[in-house]
């Protein structure tokens, strides 16, 4: 039973994070919908020029500390030791780095905007810079709570962040819209700064209340030299790893607009095309990836505990469960976006012109592959982190980013914005293959049979979805009917195929109910003669 209890806690924590993150992402999607309709394609392009640079500086300022903190806290708790001194050291470091990053992004705003090919982006960096300071607080406290396997604050802080961003960001963008696109974008970015402040305030209050209620004994808050070295040794490779993917998005913001201009587009048109790809398309593709990211966040401390206890069986069990869940979630989401992408875009973004809708749907048909590829990469990277093999993931992702830069420079110039989508999928494919190979060499875990079962179930689901799309005339009707048919068909098929064993079902939330459903669908296993 012990072997199932830890995965059950892992799945429960992942479920809390997934539910909160999905709700936050839905709110975020609502945020992007009116924002796109207010700003237009060019405005979204300008917004998305600023955001990847902000994300890169944000990653630099957190320096892998939250993930390292979650690992250390989980391991210390498993040994019955206190860990508040690690939180104190992490917060001091995070706040110092965040303040420095905010100053740098403000000082370099003009130069960065020029390098990106659109000087109008400069004002946005100065507006969003204060958000980086609050991100340091948010990141540190989320790492602490995740290390304690208490995922609710992370989930709720994400919801708080998105609600405030929706209310303030969209409100300010609408209020400033009459002053021009640049002013409207500035208002939206100011909403991001306010939302990070709100999330930080919520987490600080939650920590203080929880600490007071627990009545835990006082602990020393100073790390000795050995402990500082151990924390740095844990955080450094994680920081380097965490930097790689934002670096890929940063290169996109530097390359795509300029490459489109080299191919003959003017600045406004190039920015608008980049806005379509990085706005509606990327937002929808990232929506299902959030559930995978929630699982990945929960995996690190849980598998780290098993590693510290030398529980090989627990490591392998959690690894198999995590990988199966990634494919189980990713495959239907990718296929649904491929089949109903144009319908979803038409419902969510009615202000897009017919040509913009056609172009965005084409981009979606390619970018949707990234749901499975990116999700798989994230979970394998997290497993390698938890097993203290971060260097393997760093090498894999670094090679993948180099491939993306090369593909973007060549393809975007000669085939347009579709080249950016192809480059993104190419990067995700290479990174998944590399980290999967590294993990397989380390653990010997092979799940080809389960992946094949999931793929077959997904294809059957997609065929049913094509029938729905063909015979339901309206966009919203096709999306709703397609979602219902796909959920029922896919759920029934994967249960029929036995992707999860009975023991694995018990390790999931609502495990007993899942087992009863599994027995009804796989009736021949019940021992009856008929």
More confidently predicted of 322 and 453? 453
Classify residue 193: in a domain, yes or no: yes
The whole-number pLDDT of residue 2 equals: 39
Q: How confident is the model at residue 462 (pLDDT cuts 50, 70, 90)?
A: very high
Cα within 13 Å of Cα(325), Cβ side? 31
Task: Encode pLDDT of 351-360 as tens digits.
Answer: 888 898 999 9
Which residue shows structure tokens 């080249």?
A: 419
- For 99, other C-beta atoms within 10 Å of its C-beta total 15
The length of the chain, given as a count of residues: 530
Q: How confident is the model at residue 425 (pLDDT cuts 50, 70, 90)?
A: very high
Task: Encode pLDDT of 223-250 as tens digits.
Answer: 666 766 666 766 666 666 667 777 777 8
The whole-number pLDDT of residue 366 equals: 93
The whole-number pLDDT of residue 6 equals: 43
The whole-number pLDDT of residue 188 equals: 92
Classify residue 465: in a domain, yes or no: no
Q: List all residues 6 or more positions away from 182 whose beta carbon is below 8 Å from its beta carbon.
A: 46, 120, 123
Classify residue 451: in a domain, yes or no: no
Q: Identify whether the C-beta of residue 77 lies closer than 8 Å to the C-beta of residue 148.
A: yes
Classify residue 487: in a domain, yes or no: no
Phi, psi of 350 (to 5 degrees): -65, -15
Task: Encode pLDDT of 377-404 as tens digits.
Answer: 888 887 787 777 777 888 888 889 899 9
The whole-number pLDDT of residue 408 equals: 92
Classify residue 75: in a domain, yes or no: yes
C-alpha 296/C-alpha 249 separation (Å) is 20
Classify residue 512: in a domain, yes or no: no
Average pLDDT over residues 332-349: 92
Q: How confident is the model at residue 1 (pLDDT cuts 50, 70, 90)?
A: very low
C-alpha 22/C-alpha 307 separation (Å) is 29
Q: List all residues 6 or more positions away from 326 whose beta carbon is below 8 Å from its beta carbon.
A: 292, 295, 372, 375, 376, 378, 379
Model's pTM, two decimal places? Answer: 0.70
Residue range(s) defining the domain that contains residue 436 = 2-446
Q: How confident is the model at residue 63 (pLDDT cuts 50, 70, 90)?
A: low
Average pLDDT over residues 122-135: 89
Which tokens in the block code for residue 94?
């995070």
Classify residue 270: in a domain, yes or no: yes
Structural domain count of the chain: 1
More confidently predicted of 3 and 489? 489
H or E stretch at 448 = helix 448-471
Least Cα distance to 374 among 452, 454, 288, 316 occurs for 288
Write the DSSP string, 298-339. Answer: HHHHHHHHHHHTT-HHHHHHHHHHHHHHHHHHHHHHHHHHHH
C-alpha 293/C-alpha 251 separation (Å) is 22
Which tokens in the block code for residue 499?
């992707």
C-alpha 337/C-alpha 119 separation (Å) is 34
Classify residue 35: in a domain, yes or no: yes
Alpha helices in 63-83 (DSSP H): 65-78
The whole-number pLDDT of residue 529 equals: 44
């Amino acid at each position: 039973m012990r072997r199932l209890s830890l995965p059950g806690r892992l799945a429960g924590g992942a479920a809390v994070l997934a539910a909160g993150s999905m709700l936050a992402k839905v709110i975020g999607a609502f945020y992007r919908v009116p924002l796109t309709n207010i700003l237009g394609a060019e405005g979204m392009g300008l917004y998305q020029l600023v955001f990847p640079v902000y994300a890169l500086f944000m990653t630099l300022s957190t320096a892998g500390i939250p993930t390292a903190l979650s690992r250390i806290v989980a391991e210390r708790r498993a040994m019955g030791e206190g860990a508040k001194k690690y939180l104190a050291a992490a917060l001091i470091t995070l706040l110092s780095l965040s303040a420095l990053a905010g100053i740098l992004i403000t000082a370099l705003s003009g130069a960065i905007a020029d390098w990106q090919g659109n000087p109008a982006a400069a004002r946005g960096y100065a507006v969003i810079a204060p958000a980086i300071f609050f991100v340091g607080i948010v990141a540190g406290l989320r790492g602490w709570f995740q290390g304690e396997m208490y995922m609710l604050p992370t989930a709720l802080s994400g919801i708080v962040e998105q609600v405030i961003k929706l209310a303030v960001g969209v409100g300010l963008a609408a209020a400033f819209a009459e002053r021009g696109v640049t002013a409207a974008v500035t208002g939206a970015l100011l909403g991001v700064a306010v939302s990070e402040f709100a999330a930080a305030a919520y987490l600080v209050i939650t920590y203080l209340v929880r600490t007071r209620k627990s009545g835990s004994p006082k602990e020393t808050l100073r790390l000795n030299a050995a402990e500082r070295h151990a924390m740095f040794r844990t955080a450094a490779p994680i920081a380097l790893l965490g930097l790689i993917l934002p670096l890929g998005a940063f290169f996109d913001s530097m390359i795509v607009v300029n490459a489109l201009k080299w191919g003959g587009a003017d600045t406004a048109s190039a920015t608008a095309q980049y806005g379509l790809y990085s706005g509606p398309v990327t937002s929808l593709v990232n929506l299902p990836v959030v559930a995978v990211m929630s699982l990945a966040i929960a995996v690190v401390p849980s598998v780290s505990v098993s590693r510290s206890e030398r529980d090989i069986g627990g490591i392998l069990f959690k690894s198999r469960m995590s990988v199966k869940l990634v494919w189980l979630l990713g495959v239907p989401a990718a296929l649904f976006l491929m089949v109903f992408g144009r319908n979803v875009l038409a419902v969510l973004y009615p202000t897009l012109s017919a040509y913009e809708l056609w172009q965005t749907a084409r981009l979606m048909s390619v970018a949707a592959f990234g749901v499975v590829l990116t999700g798989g990469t994230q979970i394998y990277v997290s497993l390698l982190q938890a097993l203290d093999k971060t260097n393997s993931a760093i090498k894999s992702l670094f090679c993948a980013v180099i491939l993306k830069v090369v593909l973007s420079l060549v393809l975007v110039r000669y085939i347009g914005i579709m080249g950016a989508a192809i480059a993104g999928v190419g990067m995700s494919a290479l990174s998944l293959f590399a980290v999967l190979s590294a993990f397989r060499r380390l653990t010997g875990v092979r799940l080809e049979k389960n992946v094949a079962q999931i793929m077959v179930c997904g294809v059957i689901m997609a065929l049913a979805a094509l029938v729905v799309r063909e015979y339901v005339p309206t966009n919203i009707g096709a999306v709703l009917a397609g979602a219902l048919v796909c959920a029922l068909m896919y759920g029934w098929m994967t249960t029929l195929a036995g992707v999860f064993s009975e023991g694995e079902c018990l390790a999931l939330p609502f495990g007993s109910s899942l087992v009863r459903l599994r027995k009804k669908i796989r009736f021949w296993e019940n021992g009856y003669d008929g």
